[in-house]
Amino acid sequence: MSHAENRYYIPHGSHWPIVGSIGLLLLMVGVSNWLNGHELGRWVMFGGVGIMIIMLTGWFGTVIAESQTGKYNSQVDISFRMGMYWFIFSEVMFFAAFFGALFYARNMSVPWLGGDSNNFFTNLLLWSGFESEWPTNGPGTIGGHFEPMGPIGLPLLNTAILLLSSVTVTIAHHALREKHRGVLKIFLAATFLLGFSFVYMQAFEYMEAYEHMNLTLGSGIYGSTFFMLTGFHGMHVTIGAIMLTIIWFRVVRGHFTPEHHFGFEAVAWYWHFVDVVWLCLYVFVYWL
Amino acid sequence: MSSTTHSAEHHDDHGPAKGIKRWLFTTNHKDIGTLYLIFSLTMFFIGGSMALVIRSELMMPGLQFVHPEFFNQMTTMHALIMVFGAVMPAFVGLANWMIPMMIGGPDMALPRMNNWSFWILPIAFGILLSTLFMNGGAPAGGWTMYPPLVLQTGNAFPFLVFSVHLMGISSIMGAINIIVTIMNMRAPGMSLLKMPMFVWTWLITAYLLIAVMPVLAGAVTMLLTDQFFGTSFFLAAGGGDPVMFQHIFWFFGHPEVYIMILPAFGVVSEIIPTFARKPLFGHDSMVYAASSIAFLSFIVWAHHMFTVGMPLTGQLFFMFSTMLIAVPTGVKVFNWMATMWKGSMSFETPMLFSLAFLFLFTIGGFSGLMLAIAPADVQYHDTYFVVAHFHYVLVPGSVFGIMAAAYYWLPKWTGVMYDEKLGKIHFWASAIFVNLTFFPMHFLGLAGMPRRIPDYSTQFADFNMMASIGAIGFGLSQLLFVYIIIKAARGNGVKATAEVWDNPRGLEWTVPSPAPYHTFENPPTIKE
Amino acid sequence: MLKSNRDPGYRFLYPKQYRQGELPMIRKLCLITLGLLGTSVAHADWALNMTKGVTELSAETYDLHMLIFYVCCAIAVVVFGIMIFSLVQHRKSKGAVAATFSHNTTAEVIWTAIPVVILILMAVPSAETMVRLEDSRDPDLTVVITGYQWKWHYAYQGKDVEFYSTLARESNDARGKDSGIDVFSVDNYLLDVDRPLVVPRGAKVRLLITSNDVVHAWWVPKLAIKKDAVPGYLNEAWFRAEESGVYRGQCAELCGKDHGYMPIVVKVVEPEEFLAFVASEHDEKARVASAN
Ligand code: HEA
Ligand code: HEA
Ligand code: CUA
Ligand SMILES: [Cu+2]
């Protein structure tokens, strides 16, 4: 046991946060300039990304090292856990904004353009002939005719993949607690492989959409909500899968004990969160 | 176990590091609190200077100093800087300094992240301020950033979006830290309902922050993609709706205004009992009231949108729910009243600011209630009546709350008493000028002066002149505030005792003044 | 071109709850009980206060405004009165000794319940006025208003009359930073336009408001109308002016650099005059057409 149990743990100063801020500065300034049409901005952005990666590696490296040397008491462990819960809650709210946009479009703005509620004249005088429907790219048929993404085929397969990965990560967790390191390694590896294959499929789906269905970010409100929701979700899956991979390497190195494995659990929670978001996506974006 | 012998292993030193490194790398809640407070004061002056540009231009009808484009940039930047740069960081700074002390904790729960939360802010505001020098100028679409207007911003546009993202990241990390600190770092015996009100209001505020800052991030992200990637969120032709942005923005925006007032409620709830020498009346009902305010704040957002053409049922719903907020807020006001009742009051500067808060915030609350009446709001909306409302709740509300806190805890931070005489002068000057600035705005609004205009019809001249004189006076008074703080920070003044005031409640008064670099390395015991 | 009122679309527009009857009794009761002070201070043209306006609804809005204002004043007198009393009496310098009580459930219940009652009394008349504000059925005249950066466009439905309305010359000349013109010498500085919207007195005028670019808002205080002009959507508003005259307003939603320079002028004229106005518009149109 750690000797620090009855005392507060107070870490010493760290230079990683300030490095992170510089990374963010370059990243944001770079992207902004790039969007404004300055090619140079892109390189600044890459610089920022590089610094961010170094920062994350360094910062987490320090924390892992401290954790491995038993510096953290259970209070620190709880702090980390709570921090992770609330971080995930903030992510939920971030997705809520986009789901909100989707519901608003489907239940309010599109029907209104079609003359619903107090918008009889909106339809009559501005968009005469437009009938409310979903999916739609609006009365201006922005982006031209497109084919919506159906719920079967790839999306269904992706649902299966994610659900399965949720099972494998749980098995891995049990294995960790019951000291079956071999099972742990295999199922954890299976989890991130499933994760990456999800991302691969998703990329494939996007290519389909762009090349054969004329479904793009610019396909009116349907395209906007479709790609923003699935896109941010895909980004989160990618991050989650990378984190799982890192955890796998840590497992291989012999990190984590049956009692103490916050790093593992945090990533597992994150993974479940990504999974739940997908289920909502599947229902509201692909299916209904 | 042998915890004492190993103490050196936990942190290399007991005092602060030397030089600039101390401030760049610090994980100490007091250092970070100080950084936040200094940053906030700087931003208050920058945002205030912009307010003075606005007020100078509006002093007389006709354009005297600036062009309309620049005027709009000033309005927009003034608000963004005051809201995200001055008021919010000031409260986070107070939270950093005081919460660990008040709950008997050693420091914030996640000290390194704490450092990062702060050091993102200068980056965010550096980016935002740099837009003033860009092609097309700074953002000029109002702090509410409504599309399609905001999409007409020049090169500043992506910088605006990303700086808002950064402010969001900083606030979310700060809020997570505060929640975790409160939930996990309390000394044994400090049960939730024993927590001081300031800690309680911050707990609720932090929850609001985590719930709504990501929504704002989502909203500006949609602006970004509408601008650069061809999405149609806010474009009717594509099936979107410009008003949708307003809904998402205000879903964030309304809780945001309570984010700016709840910690001030907490501060006042600490100060009034101290100077009334009587325990806070109705501690638990204060907690429930603050929680109700937080809950209601999520279902009232469209009271900012009574003129956008919502269906009638929507208007009625938002009118009723908004009016309801007066009830828990009233409970707070009445509790403060009852705390003072039959007390034994004295009127040092922190108490004076708290009392001004009590009176003037309530006036702002009343005008808020008037705005909540939808048919009347049709006449008030987007006039100076609204400007008067929110400056009453924000300046003598939030800002006075911050100043009261600064005077109240300054001796604990610096170890010396501030100059009481100057403090009182600062108070009276501020209180008089703040009313001179913002009270006439009620009349202007009712008489029909729209907000966000650089020039106006001659009938509005007199009251605008008054408001501008008030603003300059208020600004000058704040120079005194800075002088008082610097004087105390340099240790010029009477040495403060640990208790500072007459028998105040709270753990922060059990440690020496100035508070040691690490307050509680071992959990204190909680009496009572 | 517009469909008639019996058009099925109206059922969409005005579902049952929109058409419900009024509750004048309750409203009057509230007004009488809470607005006792009200009548004596009703300065209609006081530059400090909201205008009473020239429509039934603007007067109603004004009454509502005064009602809530007096309610707030009454609460303020009580709350501030008690606080000031306490500040004077319970001060240490007067030798006051602090009591020690810290809760009282009865008091807390009372001061939660009373505001609830007051709020309900305020909500009822407000809701009624709101319902009427939204009831734009059966208009005598419909005008489509389109906001532009930075002017207004008016099109009278079925009358073949339309035109733009922009800031009047004199104001425009004076508004520049270095115009050298004293703005006090300009009549109705910033509140005058080249071509006002002309409508007949006593007619129910329905406005269909939209925008061509960014969000604007069409606001004339004396008509108690403020409605956002949202690109891609049409909002409805209506008024029936009881007195002829010239009523001024301004754009009330930030719409860019000249947001402060897009005033609105509505000229309410006698019905015959309105007919003459329409006729002259037609003549003018014919003249321009033949000249080309
Ligand atoms: C700290 C910030 C803060 C606070 C606390 C509030 C508090 C309130 N606000 Fe305010 N508000 C803003 C900041 C704030 N507001 C800002 C910044 C804007 C403008 C944004 C923009 O457009 O740029 C705004 C705009 C705004 C509007 C939109 C106006 C418009 O644009 O047309 C409305 C409308 O309902 C409103 C209502 C209220 C109400 C009902 C409260 C209530 O919480 C007030 C409750 C308090 C009291 C009522 C007083 C005390 C109570 C009693 C003594 C009990 C008894 C009282 C009664 C029964 C009446 N506010
Ligand atoms: C917390 C928030 C906050 C705070 C503290 C303030 C503080 C002030 N505000 Fe602000 N304001 C907003 C939030 C805030 N405001 C918001 C949200 C808007 C809406 C924006 C929009 O429409 O989008 C707004 C809009 C707004 C307007 C309307 C602009 C318009 O509609 O066009 C005006 C006009 O008078 C104004 C004035 C002031 C003044 C005089 C102060 C004063 O209290 C400032 C006092 C401080 C100083 C003056 C600085 C200190 C002193 C010096 C710099 C020393 C030098 C001094 C001298 C030489 C005299 N504000
Ligand atoms: Cu048009 Cu403001
Ligand atoms: Cu609000």
End-to-end CA distance of chain A: 53
CA distance B198 to B200: 5
* Partners of C226 in beta bridges: C219
Judge whether residue B195 has pLDDT over 70: yes
Using a 10 angstrom Cβ sphere, with 0-12 exposed, 13-18 middle and 19 or more buried, the burial of residue A269 is middle
B304 is a catalytic site residue: yes
Close Cβ partners of A218 (under 8 Å, ≥ 6 residues apart): A142, A143, B229, B230, B231, B232
Nearest C-alpha neighbor of B177 from the set B94, B114, B103: B114
Cβ atoms of residues C53 and C62 within 8 Å: yes
3-state SS, residue C219: strand
Backbone angles phi and psi of C235, in degrees to 5: -100, 150
Q: Which atom of ligand 1 is nearest to the CA of B307?
A: 32
Average pLDDT over residues B159-188: 95
The distance of A166 to chain C (nearest Cα, Å) reads 44
Compute, in angstroms, the gap from residue B368 CA to the centroid of ligand 1. 3
- Chain-centroid distance of CA C64 in Å reads 12
Q: Check whether residue A68 and residue A78 sit in a common domain.
A: no
End-to-end CA distance of chain C: 28
The token pair at B515 is: 């508070």
Compute, in angstroms, the gap from residue C216 CA to the centroid of ligand 3. 4
Structurally, chain A folds into a number of domains equal to 2
Q: SS3 breakdown of chain C: % helix, strand, coil, rounded to 5? A: 45, 20, 35
Subunits with 3+ C-beta pairs closer than 8 A to A: B, C
B258 is a catalytic site residue: yes
β-strands C205-211, C235-239: how paired?
Answer: antiparallel
Higher pLDDT, A61 or B9: A61
Cβ atoms of residues B152 and C214 within 8 Å: yes
Predicted local distance difference test score (pLDDT) of residue A176: 93
Q: Which residues of chain B lie closer than 8 angstroms to C174, CB-CB?
A: 62
Residues with CB under 6 A from ligand 1: B 144, 257, 260-261, 303-304, 322, 325-326, 329-330, 333, 362, 365-366, 368-369, 371-372, 377, 380-381, 386, 389-390, 393-394, 397-398; C 75, 79, 115, 118-119
Q: Check whether residue A161 and residue A38 sit in a common domain.
A: no
Q: How many Cα atoms within 13 Å fall on the side-chain side of residue C87?
A: 17
Domain end point (choices A48, A72, A96): A72
B107 is a catalytic site residue: yes
Average pLDDT over residues B140-169: 95
pLDDT band at B15 (very low <50, low <70, confident <90, very high): low
The distance of A43 to chain C (nearest Cα, Å) reads 34
Query: Average pLDDT, whole number, for chain B?
Result: 93
Cβ atoms of residues B206 and A189 within 8 Å: no
CA distance B361 to B371: 15
Q: Cβ contact (<8 Å) for C12 and A116?
A: yes
Q: Check whether residue A225 and residue A195 sit in a common domain.
A: yes
CA distance B253 to B83: 11
Q: Check whether residue A79 and residue A62 sit in a common domain.
A: no
B256 is a catalytic site residue: yes
CA distance A84 to B323: 36
The pLDDT tens digits of the residues spanning B371-429 come to: 999 999 999 999 999 999 999 999 999 999 999 999 999 999 999 999 999 999 999 99
3-state SS, residue B14: coil
Q: Cβ contact (<8 Å) for C13 and A112?
A: no
CA distance A44 to B151: 24
Q: Cβ contact (<8 Å) for C10 and A115?
A: no
The pLDDT tens digits of the residues spanning C80-105 come to: 999 999 999 999 988 888 888 888 88
Cβ atoms of residues B157 and B139 within 8 Å: yes
Domain end point (choices A72, A95, A117): A72
Residues with CB under 6 A from ligand 3: C 147, 150, 216, 251, 253-255, 259, 262
3-state SS, residue C161: strand
CA distance B416 to C12: 70
C199 touches chain B (CB under 8 A): no
B170 is a catalytic site residue: yes
* Partners of C163 in beta bridges: C154
3-state SS, residue B304: helix
Ligand 4 (ion): which residues have CB within 5 A?
Answer: B 254
Identify the residue whose C-alpha is closest to ligand 2 atom 22. B142
Q: Which residues of chain A lie closer than 8 angstroms to B233, CB-CB?
A: 101, 105, 221, 224-225
Cβ atoms of residues C188 and C171 within 8 Å: yes
Predicted local distance difference test score (pLDDT) of residue A232: 97
Cβ atoms of residues B75 and B452 within 8 Å: yes
CATH number of the domain enclosing A43: 1.10.287.70
Q: Check whether residue A116 and residue A244 sit in a common domain.
A: yes
Q: Check whether residue A142 and residue A273 sit in a common domain.
A: yes
Predicted local distance difference test score (pLDDT) of residue B473: 96
C130 touches chain B (CB under 8 A): yes
Judge whether residue C61 has pLDDT over 70: yes
Judge whether residue C261 has pLDDT over 50: yes
Domain end point (choices A53, A72, A91): A72
Q: Check whether residue A97 and residue A161 sit in a common domain.
A: yes
Compute, in angstroms, the gap from residue B366 CA to the centroid of ligand 1. 8
Predicted local distance difference test score (pLDDT) of residue B51: 97
Q: Is the peptide bond preceding residue C238 cis, with omega within 30 degrees of 0? A: no
Q: Which atom of ligand 3 is nearest to the CA of B450?
A: 2
Complex prediction ipTM? 0.91
CA distance A7 to B521: 7
Q: Which residues of chain B lie closer than 8 angstroms to C56, CB-CB?
A: none
Q: Check whether residue A209 and residue A143 sit in a common domain.
A: yes
Using a 10 angstrom Cβ sphere, with 0-12 exposed, 13-18 middle and 19 or more buried, the burial of residue B476 is exposed
The distance of B171 to chain C (nearest Cα, Å) reads 28
Identify the residue whose C-alpha is closest to ligand 2 atom 9. B51
Q: Which residues of chain C lie closer than 8 angstroms to B383, CB-CB?
A: 252
Nearest C-alpha neighbor of A100 from the set A284, A286, A287, A288: A284
CA distance B202 to B187: 18
Higher pLDDT, A95 or C134: A95
Average pLDDT over residues C116-144: 92
CATH number of the domain enclosing A196: 1.20.120.80
Judge whether residue C29 has pLDDT over 60: no
Among A166-175, B281-290, B352-361, C28-37, name the one with the lowest average pLDDT: C28-37
Judge whether residue A22 has pLDDT over 90: yes
The residue of chain A nearest to residue C142, with distances taken between CA atoms, is A121
Q: Check whether residue A149 and residue A6 sit in a common domain.
A: no
Predicted local distance difference test score (pLDDT) of residue C8: 38
Cβ atoms of residues B401 and B198 within 8 Å: no
β-strands C245-251, C263-269: how paired?
Answer: antiparallel
Among B35-44, B158-167, B505-514, name the one with the lowest average pLDDT: B505-514
Among B104-113, B447-456, C268-277, name the one with the lowest average pLDDT: B104-113
The pLDDT tens digits of the residues spanning A223-232 come to: 999 999 999 9
Facing residue for C236 by CB, picked from A116, A118, A127: A118
Percentage of chain A exceeding pLDDT 90: 80
Average pLDDT over residues B163-172: 97
The counts of H helices and E strands in chain C are: 7, 10
Q: Cβ contact (<8 Å) for C230 and B446?
A: no
The residue of chain C nearest to residue A110, with distances taken between CA atoms, is C233
Nearest C-alpha neighbor of B110 from the set A95, A75, A196, C290: A75
Distances (CA, A) of C89 to C79, C83, C86, C96: 15, 10, 5, 8
Q: Check whether residue A158 and residue A52 sit in a common domain.
A: no
Judge whether residue B2 has pLDDT over 80: no
Identify the residue whose C-alpha is closest to ligand 2 atom 21. B142
Facing residue for B309 by CB, picked from A71, A82, A118: A118
Judge whether residue B446 has pLDDT over 90: yes
pLDDT band at B250 (very low <50, low <70, confident <90, very high): very high
B30, B55, B165, B303: the active-site residue: B303
Judge whether residue C4 has pLDDT over 70: no
Full residue range of the structural domain in which residue A187 is found: 74-287
3-state SS, residue B72: helix
Subunits with 3+ C-beta pairs closer than 8 A to C: A, B
Nearest C-alpha neighbor of C61 from the set B441, B307, B450, B390: B307
Judge whether residue B178 has pLDDT over 60: yes
Q: Which residues of chain B lie closer than 8 angstroms to C255, CB-CB?
A: 149
Judge whether residue B91 has pLDDT over 70: yes
Per DSSP, the residues of B500-513 read -SSS--SGGGGS-S
In degrees to the nearest 10, what's the CA dihedral of B369, B373, B377, B378? 180
Predicted local distance difference test score (pLDDT) of residue B528: 54
Neighbours of A134 (CB within 10 A): 15
Alpha helices in B103-236 (DSSP H): 111-130, 156-184, 197-228
Q: Which atom of ligand 2 is nearest to the CA of B394?
A: 1
Q: Check whether residue A233 and residue A101 sit in a common domain.
A: yes
Q: Check whether residue A80 and residue A183 sit in a common domain.
A: yes
Q: Which residues of chain A lie closer than 8 angstroms to C134, CB-CB?
A: 118
Identify the residue whose C-alpha is closest to ligand 1 atom 51. B330
The distance of C1 to chain A (nearest Cα, Å) reads 9
B519 is a catalytic site residue: no
CA distance B170 to B185: 21
CA distance A166 to B214: 26
Instruction: Note which residues in 156-185 of chain C have CB less than 8 A from chain B.
Output: 174-177, 179, 182-184
3-state SS, residue A153: coil
**Residue A176: which region, alpha, beta or left (left: phi > 0; alpha: psi -120 to 50)?**
alpha
Q: Cβ contact (<8 Å) for C91 and B347?
A: yes
Q: Which residues of chain C lie closer than 8 angstroms to B242, CB-CB?
A: 215, 230-232
The distance of A241 to chain C (nearest Cα, Å) reads 42
3-state SS, residue C264: strand
